[in-house]
């Protein structure tokens, strides 16, 4: 069947499904179904960090929360902490815009920091810096929501610090190219209903849109070509100084300003690239450095974006396998075999090609649900299957049954409800074009040709039929980006020796950062450890695993690297729920609390790329 006739054979993790999981009864009243649907939808979208994955209504809910005024903090060359968000400390530090210029020459940037102090003062071990991915994710935002969970996983003896990399969040200057959030939102709804395909004109439309963004950003962030001694950031061009090399150096400076000798770090998704850069550039400054959900930085730096989808179809196939394994009580799309579940899902999604769903009475205004929207929704759900697959199944069922009540409830999360707002959003809550400045700037420049793109996209489709119509935008975005960074790190993305070993963590089947990439990086950083988690989804966060969490804690507390070949099983599966019921019942209080933190972190799985 068109676009979704996948035959990937994905092996389920080797866990025993407790009989009680199969006997659970689904409450089918309309009120409970809607409550479940809305809760699931909220979970799917509350974890996204970038414009195209956080619909307008979700952004408005986020902005409506009481917020700290970052601009009330006076930037300083030292870290001057101010109480914020009840139990946290916040600061803005001044760092050089251009590390290649002599000290004191040229303008500066300010970096926003948010810190959760360590609970265990007696065994204090320093500060762990967190990068939530992207590129473009704001570390302060993640720490505000999940700092306590990260602290529990790491053992409680570290301060946990989220920082907003250049161009993102509350750091300044921001990589904002549109005049307002409303202008950007309206631009987003003009994208059309076509998935990328080489034969229907969708590539030309996508290129034209990326050309618009590229030219707007060149005007806003590209500078005027002069680097006068007393010139402004605007004159120098902020977009020329947001490279990963600069951010890695920012992390070194933050570590020094904290009074610590070596970096402690946990980076997810794109954060794995940032971690590779740091360990290569400053190997003698590696303290405890974890990269989780790993993209090979060589592929990233070459602007290839073509190894990411090696296991994506296996992750998507697990939807059908887990649905079948869970049974009809747990999965509303259950059929007599995984292949039959797949055929049913394929028919639902492909059916929207000829028969898009009209949703006339959605809360935020009428909406037409297209195949492109549902396809994107399914792809994003595959980042965190444990959290996202059950509500995705309910949405697919609502489409199949044309359940207008459920579809109307889901509409705000499916692109509806965009409103024009006259008032300006707080700067740190606005979406940015940081992905372009960071990822496209880090990468080799692309000169677009129809032939080159057709070859690249064809190979991508062979790798993942499911994800290629979405992932194909990455090449197009960077092909229309013209701002080049002053500083690109072009040395080896490897280290013969680091001051302390790096820990690499990877699922067996990662949606966009495959285990093969993690193994390649492992081979390049001498002495590093590789911990494999037998799970599906992006980063280890996607599936709660006490085994993984305890290895991470042992690494942070003692520097312990897992033995080569270590594989951790998980404690929860999509649709099925908890596994090993007797083991869970016998857990200590500490393990139960740790498992709760892991479940909370499963709601924070980052996207990767500009989605």
The pLDDT assigned to 66 comes to 53
CATH number of the structural domain spanning residue 294: 3.40.50.1820
Residue 486 resides in a domain: no
Q: How far is CA 261 from the centre of its chain?
A: 29
Tokens of 300: 């990233």
User: Closest by alpha carbon to 135, among 332, 275, 25, 315?
Assistant: 275
198 secondary structure, DSSP code: T
Residue 332 resides in a domain: no
The pLDDT assigned to 610 comes to 63
Number of domains present in the structure of the chain: 1
Give the integer Cα–Cα distance in Å for 302 and 278: 18
Residue 528 resides in a domain: yes
Distance set, CA 128 to CA 81, 177, 413, 568 (Å): 16, 32, 34, 23
Cβ-in-10-Å burial (0-12, 13-18, 19+) of 199 comes to exposed
Give the integer Cα–Cα distance in Å for 91 and 75: 7
The pLDDT assigned to 4 comes to 40
Strands of the 158-163 sheet, one edge to the other: 82-84, 88-96, 108-116, 158-163, 126-131, 263-268, 286-292, 502-509, 529-536, 567-568
Contact between 513 and 487 (Cβ < 8 Å): no
Could you tell me the end-to-end alpha-carbon distance of the chain, in angstroms, rounded to an integer? 26
Q: Please give the average pLDDT of every successive group of 10 residues along the chain, which has 611 residues.
A: 40 42 39 41 36 39 60 97 96 98 94 98 97 95 96 97 97 96 90 93 96 98 92 96 98 98 98 98 98 98 98 98 98 98 98 96 92 96 97 96 95 77 80 96 97 98 97 96 97 98 98 98 98 98 97 98 97 93 81 94 86 59
The pLDDT assigned to 43 comes to 37
Residue 473 resides in a domain: no
Contact between 316 and 8 (Cβ < 8 Å): yes
Distance set, CA 378 to CA 312, 315, 398, 470 (Å): 12, 11, 14, 11
Cβ-in-10-Å burial (0-12, 13-18, 19+) of 75 comes to middle
How many other β-carbons are positioned within 10 Å of the β-carbon of residue 352?
Answer: 19
Tokens of 270: 């794109």
Give the integer Cα–Cα distance in Å for 604 and 46: 8
The pLDDT assigned to 94 comes to 98
Range of the domain at 136: 81-174+263-307+496-573
Residue 282 resides in a domain: yes
Residue 517 resides in a domain: yes
Residue 578 resides in a domain: no
Residue 43 resides in a domain: no
The pLDDT assigned to 189 comes to 87
Going through 44-87 in order, the beta strands assigned E by DSSP cover 82-84
For tokens 């990439």, name the residue.
517
User: Closest by alpha carbon to 63, among 322, 372, 430?
Assistant: 430
The pLDDT assigned to 423 comes to 74
């Amino acid at each position: 069947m068109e676009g979704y006739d996948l035959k990937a054979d994905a092996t389920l993790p080797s866990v025993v499904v407790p009989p009680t999981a199969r006997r659970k009864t689904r409450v089918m009243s309309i009120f409970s179904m809607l409550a479940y649907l809305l809760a699931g939808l909220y979970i799917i979208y509350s974890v996204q960090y970038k414009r195209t994955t956080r619909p307008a209504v979700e952004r408005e809910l986020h902005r409506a929360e009481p917020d700290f005024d970052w601009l009330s903090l006076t930037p300083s060359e030292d870290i001057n902490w101010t109480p914020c968000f009840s139990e946290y400390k916040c600061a803005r530090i001044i760092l050089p815009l251009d590390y290649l210029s002599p000290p004191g020459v040229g303008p500066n940037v300010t970096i926003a920091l948010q810190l959760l102090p360590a609970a265990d003062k007696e065994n204090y071990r320093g500060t762990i810096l967190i990068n939530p991915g992207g590129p473009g994710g704001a570390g302060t935002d993640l720490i505000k929501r999940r700092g306590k969970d990260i602290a529990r996983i790491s053992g409680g003896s570290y301060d946990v610090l989220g920082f907003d990399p250049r161009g993102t969040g509350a750091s300044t200057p921001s990589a904002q190219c549109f005049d307002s959030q409303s202008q950007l939102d309206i631009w987003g709804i003009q994208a059309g209903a076509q998935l990328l395909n080489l034969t229907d004109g969708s590539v030309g439309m996508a290129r034209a849109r990326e050309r618009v963004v590229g030219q707007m950003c060149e005007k806003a962030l590209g500078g005027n070509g002069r680097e006068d001694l007393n010139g402004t950031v605007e004159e120098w061009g902020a977009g020329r100084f947001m490279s990963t090399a600069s951010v890695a150096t920012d992390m070194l400076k933050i570590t020094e300003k904290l009074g610590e000798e070596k970096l402690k770090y946990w980076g997810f998704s794109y954060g794995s690239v940032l971690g590779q850069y740091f360990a290569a550039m400053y190997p003698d400054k590696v303290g405890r450095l974890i990269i989780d959900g790993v993209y090979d930085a060589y592929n990233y730096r070459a602007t290839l974006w073509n190894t990411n989808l090696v296991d994506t179809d296996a992750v998507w196939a697990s939807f059908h396998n887990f649905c079948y394994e869970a049974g009809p009580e747990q999965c509303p799309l259950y059929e007599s075999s995984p292949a039959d579940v797949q055929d049913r899902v394929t028919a639902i999604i492909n059916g929207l090609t000829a028969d898009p769903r009209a949703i006339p009475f959605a809360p935020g205004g009428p909406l037409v649900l297209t195949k492109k929207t549902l396809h994107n929704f399914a792809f994003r759900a595959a980042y965190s299957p444990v959290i996202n697959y059950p509500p995705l199944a309910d949405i697919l069922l609502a489409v199949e049954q044309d359940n207008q009540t459920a579809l109307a409830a889901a509409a705000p999360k499916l692109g509806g409800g965009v409103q024009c707002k006259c008032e300006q959003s707080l700067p740190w809550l606005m979406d940015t074009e940081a992905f372009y400045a960071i990822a496209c700037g880090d990468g080799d420049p692309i000169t677009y040709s129809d032939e080159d793109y057709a070859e690249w996209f064809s190979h991508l489709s062979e790798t993942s039929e499911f994800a290629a119509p979405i992932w194909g935008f990455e090449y197009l975005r960077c092909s229309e980006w013209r701002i080049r960074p002053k500083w690109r790190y072009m040395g080896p993305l490897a280290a013969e020796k680091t001051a302390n070993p790096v820990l690499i963590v990877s699922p067996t089947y990662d949606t966009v950062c495959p285990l093969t990439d993690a193994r390649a990086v492992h081979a390049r950083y001498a002495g590093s450890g590789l911990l494999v988690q037998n799970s599906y989804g992006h980063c280890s966060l996607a599936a709660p695993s006490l085994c993984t969490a305890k290895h991470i804690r042992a690494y942070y507390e003692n520097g312990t690297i897992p033995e080569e070949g270590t594989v951790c099983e998980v404690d929860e599966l999509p649709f099925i729920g908890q596994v090993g019921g007797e083991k869970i019942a016998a857990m200590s209080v500490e393990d139960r609390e740790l498992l709760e933190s892991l479940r909370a972190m499963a709601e924070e799985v980052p996207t990767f790329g500009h989605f």
